[in-house]
Structure 1
């Protein structure tokens, strides 16, 4: 295995084309993530461990969703105060500061829903969020971590300490705009909504003709909770046909969605998008440009997809997902690793 490491490092470097400084930052972050995840695992009871720890190759690792339902993992409300403190440190390590604030705001919208949906069909509880670990966290293993509950679904995959995959990534907000009660005026995904609308409204008639698809607004993100997604057919307006101000709005929109990740992961994402070429990134809109009316947009590049919708509950229920066509659940990193191992294995005669 040791003979394969230089080749693996080379493949990962080519895959992400990161600088030495960025790679060092990525390694330092991974070491912190490993340390805090192991601290979390050590805090678990035997029962919690049985619910929240799986082998890396277990099918549960791909079993993600964003709807309210019972999940497999260590649920927040089962944790002691000491375990909650470790879990908070873990989440603050995996998210950026702004990402952690956004995740907490989404989790706390469950109290708003509990007030709105008296005797509703779902249990609304901000403690019904789960942490699940796959494999044994170390720099020498493949392992993963999932943080998930209603309208939160984050998946991180680590391959031999040499790369971090951070998709699928999902945020949702219901209500999208809190219109009563103690949290009146809260709009957790306001920036994601307004940047998309600002971009559309800035367009000329001919640009809108390219960007807008005239069809019924999707009820939800189109890719749902699929385990793997493929690019949509070429539609929408390409970055190259936007003026400089419009291009900056589109970059800001992508940045808003990426920046919830810890800084080295965020930088890796943005660098990869630039490397693959911004000119090939397209923006597509479906629905009304008026606030409060159903609408949907997507941003698609050669390697990634962002989908946003606000259509349910009178267009007051928003979703945003980030997918990586080759890299969801670390598929590209794992493929590079396995190819490197196969290439470095000695040939045997028969």
Structure 2
């Protein structure tokens, strides 16, 4: 991605200051070698794209691994995550890492599974007046947030996990339940004609906008928001909000306001079974938004327990609307 030499930056607000302060507090806990490893140049596009649904033994990450952070440093990283994400977003990240702990064991690639094998990196130094990117992720998780003053783009963001049913904080939890419930609620509300427009196939399809798909454009498929009644539009917004609510409150509110303003131009498409939650692929596309939910099945794996899910803003992937050089 080309990088602009100058960027118009809106003045920092309280949230921008809090995020940068938390980022600098984290950096202050690191030694010189660690700081050198974690902060990359802002024009380092190789690092910018160094994320994947695959484990780190398959796709090497950059930055610092959680395994190499002491308790003080991990606590500072958690405080930073708590500023970048909402409480729900932090919980989701920790649930996904807990799920990966269940996959750890033995020799080979599985030895590199688990919550130790998640990385933090900054592309560009944290700043309130210059663009920079915060990255956190590993297997099945990639948080990439570009900050420019008082604005942020959470695109691209990979979530999901395996297994999706885990014991977390003393109770059995299905990681993506809120989003699946919202999507099935919307599908169930459709009448026959609406469902015919929404359902694009009886077989699920695979993730389209995963790693390496910067700049890929998807045509809208499915039923448009313009064809939904008022109650159904609220159900559609609930599906989007289930994912966007992982952003911190400022940025979630801004994104949801933009989504509501374009509700008639959103499209909801469905591929796969309609009566088996967690087995179908679905997608929402619209101005500034593409969301995919993609169940995975490898061999005899249960697709309800393995999902690769993407959020992208095609107009602002990696903050391109703010930082890409004009042609």
1:237 & 1:322 partners in 2: Cα distance? Answer: 19
After TM superposition, which residue ranges in structure 1, 4 or more long, deviate above 4 angstroms? 117-120, 180-184
Describe how 1:212-291 pairs up with structure 2 within 5 A: 212-214=199-201, 216-218=203-205, 220-275=206-261, 277-291=262-276
Report the alpha carbon displacement of residue 121 of structure 1 after superposing the two structures with TM: 3.4
Q: What are the Cα deviations for residues 91-149 of structure 1, in whole angstroms up to 9, with x where unaligned? A: 111110111111111111122223xx655632222111111011122222221110111
Q: Specify which of 127, 131, 134 is matched with residue 142 of structure 1.
A: 131
**Partner secondary structure for residue 173 of structure 2:** coil
Q: Specify which of 93, 103, 106 is matched with residue 103 of structure 1.
A: 93
Q: Please identify, of 85-94 and 221-230, the stretch whose mean Cα deviation from structure 2 is larger.
A: 221-230
Is residue 13 of structure 2 the alignment partner of residue 27 of structure 1? yes
1:157 & 1:183 partners in 2: Cα distance? Answer: 34
Change (3 A) 1:266 1:181: closer
1:155 & 1:118 partners in 2: Cα distance? Answer: 31
Structure 1 residue ranges without an equivalent (≥5)? 13-22, 343-350
**Partner secondary structure for residue 223 of structure 1:** coil
- Corresponding residue for 1:83? 73
Change (3 A) 1:283 1:202: same
Is residue 279 of structure 2 the alignment partner of residue 294 of structure 1? yes
Describe how 1:120-131 pairs up with structure 2 within 5 A: 121-122=109-110, 123-131=112-120
- Corresponding residue for 2:8? 8
Q: Please identify, of 82-91 and 220-229, the stretch whose mean Cα deviation from structure 2 is larger.
A: 220-229
- Corresponding residue for 1:61? 48
Change (3 A) 1:181 1:152: closer
Q: Specify which of 199, 203, 216 is matched with residue 190 of structure 2.
A: 203
1:227 & 1:51 partners in 2: Cα distance? Answer: 26
**Partner secondary structure for residue 193 of structure 1:** helix
Richer in helix (by share): 1
Report the alpha carbon displacement of residue 293 of structure 1 after superposing the two structures with TM: 6.5
Q: Please identify, of 265-274 and 43-52, the stretch whose mean Cα deviation from structure 2 is larger.
A: 43-52
TM-score, normalised via structure 2 length: 0.88
2:145 & 2:95 partners in 1: Cα distance? Answer: 21
Structure 2 residue ranges without an equivalent (≥5)? 1-5
Over the residues paired in the alignment, what is the CA RMSD in angstroms? 2.6
**Partner secondary structure for residue 288 of structure 1:** coil
Report the alpha carbon displacement of residue 297 of structure 1 after superposing the two structures with TM: 0.1
Report the alpha carbon displacement of residue 189 of structure 1 after superposing the two structures with TM: 0.6
Change (3 A) 1:253 1:46: same
